[in-house]
Amino acid sequence: MTRRLRIALASWLLTCAGSAQADYAEHPRAPELLARLKQQYAFSAVELDQVRQALSLAQRLPQLVEQEQKAPEKTETWTQYARRIDDGRIGGGVEILRSHAQWFARAEEEFGVPPAVIAGVLGIETRYGRITGTVRVLDSLSTQGFDHPTRNAFFLGELAEYFAFCRDFGFAPTGPQGSYAGAMGAAQFMPSNYRRLALDFDGDGRRDLWSLPDAIGSIARYLTQYDPARAWQRGEPLVVRAVVGGKAAEKIPRNGRSVTHRSGELAALSIRAETELPADTPVGLIELPLDDGGFEYWLGMRNFYSVMTYNPRVFYGMAVAQLAQRIEAALAAQEPR
């Protein structure tokens, strides 16, 4: 037996050991889910019976709850998390920008989101569609929705959206696979966002986020329409490195989810952008902890916080922003002079 086969077998056995037939159809909160599907999504009696049958087939995978609670964005330093901005992702970004140039160009024209930023999201999320998740969405959302100790309300809502998604998109609930949190496709949309924001960008009659053209257009739409208050601003940058004097950073909010100041206000507090910004530029201070105990500082502009609507963690937003910058630079370096 080869080493790779032994590792694969061990992984499979671990998954089996951590899973169990749950029969979530008998869970105390199952009636709440069914009532929501009937009242909010107009599920018929036949469709509700199909939901009960699917819930009876769902597997309890408690290791998924642990994965959600210990997600890298919550547990790593920036130095560790930034290892995702590697040569493979940078090269893959250049490659996808070339191979799917027409879709990126159209997305930028329609939504104003630059190709490298869309590629940055795809690169961090799924390595450009190559790693989209191998957990049945039925299992992940059932486990998270019924068993998560703190976020069960959110995931139970997404489980309802998932059943509506399967009905509306023609999927058997036991079919689609995704992440430990139930995100699907190259773009890793949760079911509610899939139903609301996914596009049939290539015009084949299907909103298929496992298809890169649809994922490209849908990411651009997401960044502009998910949260109007933090919508993508055409032509504006994302981040610029900052120099912080003394202990100035301790006096103001940092690592929030939206802009907090104007750049001129922070400059007066000895927090300055390395690249000059107009004094009225809306910004927020980003503080990234390093392995040596120090910090790295950046100023995030409105588009940085637009990226954070995709994943509300500063590390995620910064990884997408820096990967986009590196992809753009690599692509420019390869252009004929």
Residue 337 pLDDT grade (very low, low, confident, very high; cuts 50, 70, 90): low
Asked whether 223 and 307 are in contact (CB, 8 A), the reply is yes
Asked whether 138 and 164 are in contact (CB, 8 A), the reply is no
In whole angstroms, how large is the CA radius of gyration of the chain? 22
Mean pLDDT over 111-124 rounds to 98
Mean pLDDT over 39-57 rounds to 97
Q: Which H or E element spans position 68? A: helix 62-69
pLDDT of residue 2 exceeding 70? no
Count the alpha carbons within 13 Å of 176 in the hemisphere toward its beta carbon: 33
All domains in the chain, ordered by first residue: 20-71+132-197 (1.10.8.350), 76-131+201-230 (1.10.530.10), 239-300 (no CATH)
Residue 19 pLDDT grade (very low, low, confident, very high; cuts 50, 70, 90): low
- Residue-wise pLDDT for 186-205, tens only, equals 999 999 999 999 999 999 99
pLDDT, mean over the chain: 92
pLDDT of residue 264 exceeding 50? yes
Model pTM score: 0.91
Q: Please tell me the distance from the alpha carbon of residue 86 to that of residue 83, in angstroms, as a whole number.
A: 6
